[in-house]
Amino acid sequence: MRKMVWLAVMAASAALAQVQYATWDGTRQKVDERLLKAFTEATGIQVAYNLVPWGTYWQKASAMVAGGSTFDVMWMNLDNFPFYASQRALSPIPLSQEARGLLPKGALDLYTVRGQVLGLPLGPQVVTVYINRKLFQERGVPIPKDTWTFEEMREAARKLTFTRSDGKKVWGINAMDLQIDSEYGMAFYYSNGGTGIIRRVGDRYEANLDEAFRDTAKKLLDLIYVDKVSPGPQDSTLQGYQLFQAGQMGIYVLGSWMTEVWKGSPELDWAFAPLPVMKKGLEPVGVYSVHALVVPAASRNKEGAYRLAEWYTTSAQAQRIVAGAGLMPTLADRYRSTYLQALPGRNGEVVFRQLPRMVVRHADVRNLSNLPEVLDALYNAMNLAWTGNLPLDKALDKARADMNALLRNSKPLW
């Protein structure tokens, strides 16, 4: 009997000592598993990998607020961070001076509240343009390496849109993914002179859906409904990335993490292309999202969690593993050569040339009390235009009205 009790206690202690790591990003599962194994070998701390689908991830994350059982280290995005920070659901992370000096200050500041670091930034998730070089060559389209304009991209998409002899449709670009309020669509908006969709006026906030926003939205919408170089809502049963992966799309705009997906199709001759110039005299201004590792206040293994979060985001070993897999590491510039060597001949330099001009969308209004609701109102209104259910100008009017009704009650959380 005593032996059974002792074994039960030992099992409970082992479970407690194990760090529970959670993420929604299944595209990098193999890389994550290599990282966690390397961490265990380096520190002796056991880690359990938990992949939670995006649809249920935030339901499970609600335990952070309730203070109940939760994971020890969790992925966090900037859209949700202000809420969890304001609810005191996150534990301050005691960073070593060395780690603090390594982490990009701008990204670290986004997860710092009242001097307390509540999240350690992961590698920049960069909005990236991919092209299918084989299709470009087949259709006689010049391959963009250093620069091209939006008009040149649109013309390329026209030439890349055709029907094969076997009846399969090939599309020029994935404009359905470029809804103007998404991070992908906003890369075009900022490049078009946009400054932000919410502005402060005195002590209040209001929607800033200006001419740059409308003009960008129209250009992207026209790719679907006027130029007809992108599948619309009813035109394909496949998603954009599936069409690109199958060789049925010439230009694909999404995130830098898609390199892991393309590895599943070794016959796909893909390369990076630059973001297009939207307006003469303006350099492309891309968008990147900064996810982070956080430690919930309810974590039962904070010491192990702190060590994992710091090692994962700053150690040379972790950075080499991430960059060597062709993913953007946290210390992107420092491990540029490792990253480029992992993706030879893919024009990866273009991503690094654009990094200094990239911005984090909504960074200046991240701490508004009801920002998620405001962004939902914008999405719902603009989605009516993207799905062809409402003319653009009416969708814009609805978006302004709905956003302003919510923004009247917006207050900074800190």
- Residue 332 domain-assigned? no
**What is the structure's pLDDT at 4?**
47
> Is 336 a member of any domain?
no
Distance CA 293, CA 254 (A): 22
Question: 102 and 131: one domain?
Answer: no
Same domain, 10 and 137: no
Confidence of residue 387 (pLDDT cuts 50, 70, 90): very high
Which residue is associated with the tokens 């273009």? 350
330 inside domain: no
Q: Do 113 and 148 fall within a single domain? A: no
Give dist(CA 225, CA 228) in Å, integer: 5
Q: What is the pTM of this model?
A: 0.91
pLDDT, tens digit (0-9, with 9 covering 90-100), for 55-67: 899 988 887 777 7
Mean pLDDT of 272-288: 95
Q: Is residue 104 domain-shared with residue 134, that is, in the same domain?
A: no
In a domain? residue 414:
no
CA-to-CA separations, 264 to 33, 62, 235, 312, 323, in angstroms, rounded = 18, 34, 25, 25, 18
Query: φ and ψ at 325, to 5 degrees?
Result: -90, 0
Q: What band does 252 get if pLDDT is binned at 50, 70 and 90?
A: very high
CB atoms within 10 A of CB 9: 10
Please tell me the predicted confidence (pLDDT) of residue 67.
Answer: 74
Task: Specify the CATH number for the domain of residue 60.
Answer: 3.40.190.10
State how far the Cα of 361 lies from the Cα of 374, in Å rounded to an integer.
14
Compute the distance between CA of residue 262 and CA of residue 306 in angstroms, rounded to an integer: 33
Mean per-residue pLDDT, 171-190: 97
Average pLDDT over residues 306-324: 97
Within a domain: 136: yes
- 8 Å CB contact between 128 and 187: no
Residue 54 pLDDT > 80, yes or no? yes
Q: What percent of the chain has pLDDT over 90?
A: 87
Which tens digits make up the pLDDT trace of 134-162?
999 999 999 999 999 999 999 999 999 99
- Residue 17: per-residue pLDDT: 80
How far CA 114 is from CA of 79, 86, 117, 157, 249, in Å, comes to 19, 11, 9, 48, 47
Phi and psi, residue 9, nearest 5°: -65, -45
Residue 9 has pLDDT above 70, yes or no: no
pLDDT tens profile 197-210: 999 999 999 999 99
Statement to judge: residues 113 and 151 lie in one domain: no
| Judgement on whether residues 140 and 96 belong to the same structural domain of the protein | no
Q: How many domains does the chain have?
A: 2
Three-state SS letters, the chain: CHHHHHHHHHHHHHHHHCEEEEECCHHHHHHHHHHHHHHHHHHCCCEEEEECCHHHHHHHHCHHHHCCCCCCEEEECCCCHHHHHHCCCECCCCCCHHHHHHCCHHHHHHCEECCEECCEECCCEEEEEEEEHHHHHHCCCCCCCCCCEHHHHHHHHHHHCEECCCCCEEEEECHHHHCCCCHHHHHHHHHCCCCCCEEEECCEEEECCCHHHHHHHHHHHHHHHCCCCCCCCCCCCCCHHHHHHCCCEEEEEEEHHHHHHHCCCCCCCEEEECCCECCCCCCCCCEEECCEEECECCCCCHHHHHHHHHHHHHCHHHHHHHHHCCCCCCCCCCCHHHHHHHCCCCCCHHHHHHHHHCECCCHHHCCECCHHHHHHHHHHHHHHHHCCCCCHHHHHHHHHHHHHHHHCCCCECC
Do 257 and 386 sit in the same domain of this protein? yes
pLDDT top residue among 16 and 213: 213
Contacts of 76 (CB under 8 A, 6+ apart): 84, 90, 111, 119, 291, 292, 293, 294
Examine the domain organization and report whether 213 and 73 are in the same domain: no
**Residue 50 to residue 351: CA distance in whole angstroms:** 30
Within-domain flag for 147: yes
CB 370 within 8 A of CB 206: no
Range of the domain at 58: 2-124+290-314
Residue 69 is predicted with a pLDDT of 77
**Mean local confidence (pLDDT), 215-225:** 98
In sequence order, what are the beta bridge partners of 144? none
> pLDDT for 67-104, tens place per residue?
777 899 999 998 889 999 999 999 999 999 999 999 99
pLDDT value, residue 14: 46
Residue 28 lies in a domain: yes
Q: Name the percent of the chain lying above pLDDT 70.
A: 96
Least confident of 36-40, 47-51, 358-362: 358-362
Q: Are residues 93 and 58 in the same domain?
A: yes
Are residues 33 and 120 both part of a single domain?
A: yes
Residues 138 and 96 in one domain: no
Mean pLDDT is lowest, of 7-11, 139-143, 387-391, for: 7-11
Q: Are 78 and 288 in contact, with CB atoms under 8 Å apart? A: no
- Which CA distances in Å does 33 have to 73, 299, 302? 14, 21, 21
| pLDDT given at position 64 | 77
- Whether 354 is covered by a domain: the verdict is no
Residue type, 370: N
Check the CA dihedral 401-406-407-408 and report its sign: positive
To 10 degrees, what angle do helices 302-314 and 316-324 make?
A: 60
Domain co-membership, 135 together with 283: yes
Query: Does position 335 have pLDDT exceeding 90, yes or no?
Result: yes
